[in-house]
Structure 1
Amino acid sequence: MSLINKMLQDLDARGSQGAAGAQDAVRPVPGRERAAAPRMVMIGALAVLVGAGGAALGWRVLHKPAPPVPPRAAAPAVVVVAAASPPAPAAATPPLPVAVAAEPVAAAAAPAAPEPAAPAIEAVKAQGATAGERIQTDESLKSVRRVKAAQTAKPAPARADAEATRATINAAPVALQGKESNVQQRAENEYRRALAALQEGRVNECIAGLEQALAIDPRHQAARETLIRLLLEGKRPNDAVRHLQLGLALDPAQPAMAMMLARLQLESGGPAVETLMRTLPFAGGDGDYRAFLAAVLQRGQRHKEAAEQYELALRGAPQNGVWWMGLGISLQAEQRLVEAKDAFARAKGSASLSPELQAFVERKLQQLPH
């Protein structure tokens, strides 16, 4: 409004200065025209004022920098594409603003974009091409996954068959265990009937029952031991040897049965040493077994091995006079006379020998050099 007042004052000043000189030249106008003249001046002044204000506002709008647009969190895909795009040359194009990378459509539509916007548009196009290639790659990966899924789904019947086979295999031990239990029970029933017959004095029927039990279950140890004892009492050593050999063939870890078989083989000239050596790993620290093996080795003139077995047996029973005597015999045969004399002396001092063996040891001590 101050601008309008100033313009009115200027008009009044000009009017007062020219009124004196031009009064004669001014002719009176009608009253209607005099009333319209100030109104037209006011309208013209307002038009000029509005035009000047619009021009000033337009100038400010055109020259005011555009406020930075904050990047929107909802456009991660566009940001990833911008990161994957190659950087624009530094000499030709300034760094691409984040607003252009995040909002390529808004930047392209802005009417007052600066002149270097063309390289930015080219960068966005390149980014779009990279995004298109990535989409094609993603589609290819999806196709490959679908093919793999289809291939994986096809062998389902084969897996079902494999699971059924495994279930059958897992069930087989249970069935075998039940069958084995049934076999053991049948053999046990025959064994008990054979013992009942033995208590009634029917030995032959008992032997037949024990043989039937072993036919059902060859590993029925009690039935085999009882049968061997009855065969030996019945003077049937050959049948006893056969059953002993069958038992050791099924389970060699039976030192007592191996010693029994070795005794029978010694009487018949059989391979007693081989029988005992076969079961030796299962004898452990059994001194009786090692002493018996030493005696069998000594009988076969294998004195060095016999002395070793006697020494092992005496570690667990150092007061056994018979074993000291056996060790002295093998040491004397090996011409280890000093050690043999010491062994005989230990045998004599054990006070566990019979009168006959005591006399034998004393004679050996007298024969050895002092």
Structure 2
Amino acid sequence: MSLINQMLKDLDARKQQGASHAAQEAEIVVCHPPQRSRFRTVAVLVAVTSLCVGGWWWFSSQATVVIPPASLQTQQQQKVESVALIEAVPSTETVVAPVEFSAAQQLSEPVVVPVLAKSSGSPLNVAVVNLPVERLSEADAEGELQLSAVNLTARPSIPSARLVIEPPNLAEQAQQLRREGRAFIHQQQYHSGAQLLNQALELDHGSAQQWQELVRACVQAGDLSSAMDAVIRGCEAYSNDVGLRVYRARLIVETGDYHSALTVLQTGATPSVGASSDYYALLASVLQQLSQFTEAAAQYALLTTTYPQRGDWWIGRAVCADQLGLAQHAITYYQQAIRCQQLNPQLKQFAVQQLTRLGKG
């Protein structure tokens, strides 16, 4: 109990001492705030500067990109690499930027800057990338100033070499076709050869001999209608050619129209016997078929006089004399025909039979 009483007394004594101290005036102590760190100040300045730079960059990106004129200090080509998104409407206009040029700059091309008008419409993103800028040195610019205006505007152009391959003309093409056609005829491919010869004459009218060549090829191919067409075209191109007239008359004789054949032969100039014996031989044969024996005998007489070794023409003359009642003349002509060494065996047998009939066999 004594211990407890002692503890209570001590507790009362402490309470009394605390009340006395509360009655005393409290001492006011002034506390100075701690000094701010220099690092924090620098950080704040850096943050403010970054915000300013970022705001300036954002504002400048919204404006129109203007390409400055090229500097004329070096001769090298540089590339201005800048990419900007430009807000503009689809319609654009091109203006020349009012930039003052030096004497050296005026020699180069004017700087053309595309200006895109702003509008409330939908923005158009335009990228300006890698624009080549050609530069001149001051020495080159001074040298260019000494040139005249004529030299600046009219400079001689260097002629470019051109390789011109001209196609062959019509005559050369026709000649090539004739060579190929003759090669086919030589191989006895007459139809193919005639087609090529006809194509050649369609390109180039050629000569009368070339028309005769086409007619012969058609006859050898057995195409008489094409041969007649070719000979008619040839006679229209060369009306005075005797060879074409003879070919045409022979083709007509194949049809049995002797009067038309005679008309063809007698149209145009008459050649000499030495120049065209075929003409006289065909004319005499046609006259004989038309029973015009006197005229036919006259033609055979010209032939046998010029070519006495042709036994067939002697036989033709003998037939005409026999038809005219000149039996003795007929016998003489038959005998002359037999003496010809190149006489056809059938014609020789015919002459022997006629001599027997006339009493001289």
TM-score (norm 2): 0.45
More helix by share: 1
Bigger RCO of structures 1 and 2 (CA < 8 A, at least 6 apart): 2
TM-score (norm 1): 0.44
